[in-house]
Amino acid sequence: MTAMSMRMREWARPHTEAEPSPLEEYIEFHQAGFPAVGRFCCVSCGNKVACVGLLRSCRVCGGDLWERPETSPWVMQP
């Protein structure tokens, strides 16, 4: 078996429950200045905001990138 066929075999492995699927690892980021509705956490410092309208830069650190609390490492999940 060549190294190429080993790589292809590894890539084609079926998904198991022990491994997260690519969709479970997907994190959607939101840029300041764009319209948004909901709760967000600053990617840089973890500051939490609720937004209806345009996302602003973080008031704590000036960061311009936000994510949902469900995917943020800053938020304690139950």
Distance CA 2, CA 28 (A): 37
pLDDT at 14: 52
Q: What is the pLDDT of residue 42?
A: 93
Within-domain flag for 16: no
Asked whether residue 64 is domain-assigned, the answer is: yes
On average, the pLDDT of the chain sits at 76
The domain tally of the chain equals 1
Which of 6-10, 23-27, 41-45, 72-76 shows the highest mean pLDDT? 41-45
- Residue 35: which domain range? 27-78
pLDDT tens digits for 16-40? 556 555 555 677 889 999 999 999 9
Per-residue confidence band for 1, with pLDDT thresholds at 50, 70 and 90: very low
Q: Would 57 be classed as within a structural domain? A: yes
